[in-house]
Structure 1
Amino acid sequence: MNENFKEVYKQLLTSQDKYVYFLLAATLASIAFAIKESQSLKLDLSQIPLALGVVSWGLSFFLGCRNREYYNSTLFANGELLRIQLGLSPHPDYGNHPDYIQAASEGIKSAIEKNSKKVMMFGRYQTRTFILGALFYIIWHVYEMYLRT
């Protein structure tokens, strides 16, 4: 494979990792900030948008964690696929048997495809729920300002 392609692909994966971890950190910071902002407030119906924001951020964090779980599972499966294709079977009875290599490769490729789709889905919803939480927080903040006037 071309070295330039490998480098670009490596940078893409690194960038995607950083983005997911940024969202995870921003989500936790947002939850902490919302808790700090509302610490001295009495429980009131006007805080429903804030609660919805915190729930959205909690869901975003959960989805980001699921994204990482499926991403790591996909990396592991890719490694196993390479091992099998190189004849480094974990089972000594099968070794370099072509039928075993083909069947195992197809099964692993199918798992990789399913996992990759879940990685993308969880990543999309992680971002969407983070933004939704921010919108709920802004609605709550503007409404609180309105109630004070």
Structure 2
Amino acid sequence: MADNEDLKELQKLHFESHNKYVYFLLAATGAALGYALQKLDGLPITFWVAPGLFAVFCWLASFYAGCMRITWTHRAMHANFDSLQLQRGIHLRQPDSASETQRVIELRKGHTLENLGRSSFYIKLQFWLLTAGLLAFVVWRILEMLRVKGAP
């Protein structure tokens, strides 16, 4: 039984760590957006600011992906919770027959796995959009320095 408790504790730590990572990425994205918008404020929309605008677009999409990751994780947890309630016979809409209960449990387990898959997709997307925005922003700032240096 102690092994089961160790697994539960490890799973809990993994989940908490993953959540902290998502919220860290959201915070980094918010800070990057604020900084980029401050740098873009008042600049005319020209070819020269395109990488900066692309960075902002990437960070907005990253923020959206982070929110979707949280949404799909919550949906997975809810589906898993439903499945556990059904297994214990305490669900509010508990089916009358054991075979129907088993069918609904399997259905909810499938929903849990689908939702976790979507959650996994969105956390990867969140990271890569944040990274793409960072690269675009750095390219923009370098282009700006080269352009200003070359101007008379």
Q: TM-score, normalised by structure 1?
A: 0.93
Rounded Cα–Cα distance in structure 1 between residues aligned with 2:14 and 2:147: 46
Query: Alpha-carbon deviation of 1:38?
Result: 2.2
Corresponding residue for residue 41 of structure 2: 39
Shift of 1:89: 2.7
User: Who is 1:116 aligned against?
Assistant: 116
Instruction: Give the counterpart letter for 1:114 in structure 2.
Output: E
Query: How far did residue 42 of structure 1 move?
Result: 3.2
Deviations 1:94-141 (CA, angstroms, capped at 9, x unpaired): 35x211211111110111111111010011011000000000000000
The alignment covers a number of residue pairs equal to 147
How far apart are 1:41 and its partner, in Å? 2.9
Q: What's the C-alpha RMSD, in Å, of the aligned pairs?
A: 1.3
Q: Determine if the alignment matches structure 1 residue 101 to structure 2 residue 111.
A: no
1:89 counterpart SS class: coil
1:39-78 matched pairs, under 5 angstroms: 39-78=41-80
For normalisation by structure 2, the TM-score amounts to 0.91
Counterpart CA distance in 1 for 2:92 and 2:74 is: 20
Quick check: 1:136 aligned with 2:136? yes
Instruction: Give unpaired runs (5+ residues) of structure 2.
Output: none
Give the letter for the 1:112 counterpart.
T
- Distance of 1:86 and 1:18 partners within structure 2: 31
The percent identity for this pair of structures is 29
Q: What runs of 5+ residues in structure 1 fail to find an aligned partner? A: none
SS in 1 for 2:23: helix
Q: Structure 1: how far apart are the matches of 2:118 and 2:98?
A: 30
Indicate the SS of the match to 1:142: helix
**1:8 to partner: Cα distance:** 1.3
Q: 1:86 aligns with which of 84, 88, 99?
A: 88
Displacement after TM superposition at 1:28 (Å): 1.2
1:91 to partner: Cα distance: 2.5
Amino acid at match of 1:84: L
Offset of residue 40 of structure 1? 4.2
